[in-house]
Every structure is written in structure tokens, then in C-alpha cells.
Structure 1
């Protein structure tokens, strides 16, 4: 069975302890997918450095620290890393500074890992769009705005992780899983 191990992704000591507790001999896949999901910070003038770090530390620093601590086990397995970024790394709504910066940083970290760790370990990222991770009932309008006719589901991201974990000739890439929304021009007039 699966044994969950909890850690604070903004803490180097917590991550180090969690990886030690896991007792890996080798690790086939590391998926970095942690941190606050709400991207809205409020007005920039009211944002403190602690507010900023509440996104940067778990998302970006946590991905770096998890990769670093898991590296011996990933190398032993010739494994791969899948980092979770976001379409918000490419496009923003007002007051989403820390989240957008963290997710953009994950893209840079991903290609740096791919180049620095290859050929032993591959590193890719997934940029989800609107994923209904809470199972809420969404309006028809919410679904219809996506070119595929629906918002994303958790299974769509799982499928992408499975693909990237086994795609031996793919590294340093960002796979956008957003139902085509980044390709759609949206104007209000």
C-alpha cells in the first residue's frame, strides 16, 4: 500500500527528513506538485516579502529541494522528474505575482534539470489550465469556453504524468494540458 509522508515544502529540513523517512533505494518518478493553489495575492503595494515567499518557497524552492534530495535515488533508477507548472506561467490575471513567478521559475528549473541531469535523469513539466480538482459542478459556460468542450479533470493530468514518465526521448519540455485554452483568442467588446 501507499504510505503517505508529510513534509513542509518550504523547509529544507522537512524535505530532507521526509526523503530519509521514505527509505528509497531507487526512485522511478518524482512528481513535484505542491504549494498553495489560490494564485491571488492582492495589490502589489500591499504584498509583503512573506506573502511573496508563500508561493515561491513551496512551489519553486520545494521543487528544487525535492529534486536535489531525491537525486541519488532517481539516478539509480534512471528515473524522471515531472514538475507541475501552470498556464499562469504564460498568462496572468491581476494580483497573481508570486504564483505566476513561481510557476515561471519552475519552467526554467525544468529545462536546467533536463540539461544538467541528462542522460541519467529526465525532467519535464506539465502546465495545467483549468482543472476541476475539487469535483465542483461547473456551468455549461465554464465547459464551453474550452475548445475541447469541457474543463479539465484530475485524470487528464494523471494521463500526462504517465505519458511523461515513460517518454524516454522527451526531456526539458513543458506539456500544456488546458483543453486548448492557450490557443484561443478571447476578446471582450
Structure 2
């Protein structure tokens, strides 16, 4: 699970890479000449490692307000709806995404650490007992996910990659399957 600082870093990178100051050049999915305001949220969630299906945006209750709809089975099977405003910048987008993740208990404490594990899988899909290979511990989910993203297996179906989260007392908090 990402930490608030992971979310902020991904949002900052997205805004920088796409030369975005705020969301004023964005609009509803059907607006001609404007970028879809749901895309920054979708791309950030994907970058954070959440399985993502689709997003779209509709005009909201007044000018500059939009309702965005996200289908993110990595968070919930239900469609997520957020009300966002065109003047949102990095800070507001970060807060919206952090609030969303907090609502589903998917935002980690900043003191937590993350372990990357690789598990061996048999051809029938069953787990090989005691086969976990510890890759290492990382201070942020983003660092751990970057390590996972660089992994390349000759037979990918024979491995599963997990990120385990531990609190400051080394107590297990959660895990997420990456590959």
C-alpha cells in the first residue's frame, strides 16, 4: 500500500511529465478540445500499482466542477465517483487520491516499510511451500514497486511477486500481489 509521500511523488511526476499546472485544460470525457479530467487520476492510480479498467468524466453541478468515475478492481468492485474541480493542482489531486485510498484502508502510515517477496508457483498454479525469496525491504511502496517492475522472469507463470507491508513495530499490515 502506498504512503501519502508515494502518492504525492507520483502526482508531482505526472504533472511535471505532462506540463500541467492545474486541471484547467481538462474537461468532461465528451468535451472537444480538452483533455479528459479523469485521466490524471487513472494514470496516478495505475502508477501506484492498482489494477485499473476505465475512467470517464461528466460535467458537474457548476462550471469547473466534474464528476469522475473510476473502475479500479484493485480498490473495489464498485464504481468510484469523485467530484473534482478544474483548479485542482498537485496538492488537491494528491489529497483526493489519498482520501480515496484512506476510505478503502489502502493508504499506509509514513513509518511503515515494505518487503518484496517472490514465490514459486507449480504448473498447476499451486504455491510451493517455503519457496519465498526475500528481495529486500524498502522505505516506500513506490521504491518496492519499482523493484518489482524491473523483475523479468524467463517463465513468468511460475512466479508471483508480492509486496508485504510492516508497521514500525515490524507487525504485518497487508500484502499486495504485483505479478
TM-score (norm 2): 0.27
TM-score (norm 1): 0.26
- Structure with more of its chain in strand, by fraction: 2
